[in-house]
Structure 1
Amino acid sequence: MYKSYFKRVLDFIFSLLLLPVFIPIVIIFGLMIYSQDKGPIFYNANRLGMNGKIFKMYKFRSMKVDAPDLRNEDGSTFNAEDDPRLTNIGKFIRKTSIDETPQLLNIIKGDMSFVGPRPDLPEQYKLYEGNEKRKLEVRPGVTGYNQAYFRNTIPWKQRIKNDIYYIDKLTFMLDLIIIFKTILTVISRENVFTNQEQDNKSTDLK
């Protein structure tokens, strides 16, 4: 019952309650982002949603305008602390996960949940093998099992296995544990960026 109904109800209620907090965040960080290079405040990217539906995921822009699209060998997004594509404010909002806060709008729209598998890129759909498409059984999350415990330190395929584990064990209590653990991880700024071994495997897909 929680997975199929109450989870969405709670997502909607709490996202509306958080809107008054979100508005000043947009004003403050929006001005800071714009002042860096006069570029757009938001970065809107296509992502795979529930049942494979493609949606626009909202984030604060953390990279310079027209930055090249770098990917790791597994197709996941390249992410490193010394990434020259990041603006100064971009480095800060990445480390603190403030760049993810606009996804509150995705939750209100029903594209995402507070907790769930992080959404993949549409082109990664063809790379799923075996039962890996099961990660699309639920709405993707702003945070999830991987983000709470590993963040960006494990390979994409291992993240999918963890996502399926989460789906099989999904309960209200598990979601609460993940949210609490995520808060601790963000405060400590643990595992924000991919490790050096993963960085060395990155490739420019443009």
Structure 2
Amino acid sequence: MSSISQAFAGPRIEVVPASTGVTSVPYQPRTLAWYARLVTGIVAGDVAAIVTSLLVGSIVRFGPVSDWSTSSALYAIAAAAVAVVWLFALSGAKSRAKRIIGEGLTEYQRVTNATLVAFGCVAIVCYLARFDFARGYIALAMPLGWTLLLANRFAWRSILLRLRREGRCLTGAMVVGSPDDVDLTVTQLRSNLAAGYRPAAVSLTSPLDDARPSVRARLAGLPCVPYAEVVEATRTSRMRALMLAGDLPGGRERIRQLGWALENSDAELILVSRLTDVAGPRIHLRPVAGLPMVHVQLPQYSGFNHSLKRAFDIVAASLGLILLAPLLAVIAISVRRDGGKALFRQQRVGVGGTTFTMLKFRSMVVDAEERRAELEALSDGNGVLFKMRSDPRVTPVGRRLRRSSLDELPQLWNVLRGDMSLVGPRPPLAREVEQYEGNETRRLLSKPGITGLWQVSGRSDLTWEESVRLDLYYVENWSFTGDLLLILRTLIQLFTHDGAY
């Protein structure tokens, strides 16, 4: 990992006096060397993925290369043409654009779209030219190549996120707006490194002294540029992004002037939307006669997509119970060795406030509930939930089950029954629901899930507010594709054990 960090390191950002003489702003590197190196690595991985898939398809279709005939050589030429079209499609779909690299879902969607476009073009050409391309060859090469491409992007995304946690591969940004709006934007950028921006300076439209003490404390460490000199400071420091958080004095006319003033510079102008906790796919921009209209798709809790989600739950839960039956039996026997029951049953609150019995493998001693009162004061939970990192009630077998989340496998039966879903908000206890105030009740609009945003974002390490926010975000922005990605992230999370205790 150290060699990768050195390859992408580039110059660190240092604070030096700006020529304006007004304040000190951080100079940015002249070039984003890390981005060029990252794209080079991604392209190399894409080429390797495509060549590997086409070569495997050719070997399966024609046998070892040494046995290829003249017709096989023609297929090799055709395969090379397919590879070129595929790579052009990936480039045309802007699957390596700086704004989406490392983002996750959008990047994977563009790779998928490019793959479909590439093979659509191949099918059209073969039809028009009456070229008899083996369907079995395509049926193998396309899904294999698509899988390898996604694996390549996932690997580079993991590397990029790790580097960003080290303070590398981040784009310096100046955030402009009122202290509250700037504070919100800066906080989000610092906590969500996947966005790829580093708050390097701020410019406030009202005095910081008038802001709340907590806001002043969080913004105190950042260089502050006078609002009137934002453009000059951006150009002088080679700032790559100017983020406008909230309303500015002068309104839309001021935004247009800023855009004109930054023409032909390396900086990008970013308007930070006040539509917080709204996922990108729900937002659509439609310009009408020069008037940009932002359409926000409202959440839907019924219809085809939810029927598809339920069908997927039934199929996946059924297959899981059948394929994992031997493992379930082994775990049940291991849990029973201490004389207690294998399954732990607990009442949880489901969709619409209904209650159901949730199943788990028992991970604690038989009298765990009776001993809870004496441990309340030692809770490591988030204020509402009771959690202990070293809970003395957890059995040795239970501790291993919790670390790997295997204790939750019986919930597949809850999914099959319709009480739960594979992905959804965390299933709350009745005493938690009693403490809901206002928006928290929206968590009950969706079926609780075995996994969800809460599980891949820290689990028991989350505060109560963070847990609620993640659940509400999922409920408002659910999508079938997003569920599949969360399941994939959960499988990866099983090997890291973050927040599991």
- Residue 186 of structure 1: how far off its partner (Å): 1.0
* Pair 1:89–1:192, CA change in 2 (3 A): same
Q: Tell me how far apart the structure 1 counterparts of residues 322 and 454 of structure 2 sit (CA, whole Å).
A: 28
Counterpart in the other structure of 2:321: 19
Q: AA paired with 1:136?
A: L
In structure 1, the residue matched to 2:125 is none
Q: CA deviation at 1:3?
A: 4.5
Let me know the Cα RMSD of the aligned residues.
1.5
Separation in 2, partners of 1:145, 1:73: 16
Q: 1:100 to 1:79 in 2, by over 3 A?
A: farther
Alignment of 1:109-128 (within 5 A): 109-128=417-436
* Deviation for aligned residue 1:75: 2.7
1:162 to 470, 473, 481: 470
**Bigger CA drift: 3-12 or 162-171?**
3-12
Query: 3-state DSSP class of the match of 1:56?
Result: strand
> Highest CA radius of gyration, 1 or 2?
2
2:360 to 59, 66, 71: 59
CA–CA separation in structure 2 for the residues paired with 1:153 and 1:126: 22
CA contact under 8 A between 1:145 and 1:178: conserved in structure 2? yes
Deviation at 1:61, TM superposition (A): 0.2
Classify 1:21/1:99 alpha carbon distance in 2 versus 1 (closer, same or farther; 3 Å).
same
The answer to whether the 8 A contact 1:149-1:182 is kept is no
- Asked if the contact 2:382–2:460 (Cα under 8 Å) also holds between the matched residues in 1, the reply is no
Higher relative contact order (CA 8 A, sep 6+): 1
Q: What TM-score, normalized by structure 1, do the two folds share?
A: 0.88
Q: Which runs of 5+ in 2 are unaligned?
A: 1-302
CA contact (8 A) 2:383 2:464 kept: yes
Distance 2:477 2:382 in 1: 30
Letter in 2 for 1:76: L
Question: Counterpart amino acid of 2:415?
Answer: I
State the match for 2:393 in structure 1: 85
- Give yes or no for the alignment of 1:178 onto 2:486: yes
* 2:332 corresponding residue in structure 1: 30
Q: Aligned residue for 2:344?
A: 43
Cα distance, 1:156 vs structure 2: 2.1
Contact 1:11 1:108 (8 Å CA) reproduced: yes
| Amino acid in structure 2 at the alignment position of 1:165 | Y
Per the alignment, residue 75 of structure 1 pairs with 384
- Quote how far apart the aligned CAs of 1:6 are: 1.1
Does structure 2 conserve the Cα–Cα contact (< 8 Å) formed by 1:135 and 1:163? yes
8 A Cα contact 1:2 1:171, kept in partner: no
> Gaps (5+ residues) in structure 1?
194-206
1:135-178 superposed Cα distances (whole Å, 9 cap, x missing partner): 00010000000101222211123211111111111101111111
User: For 2:422, what is the secondary structure of its paired residue?
Assistant: strand
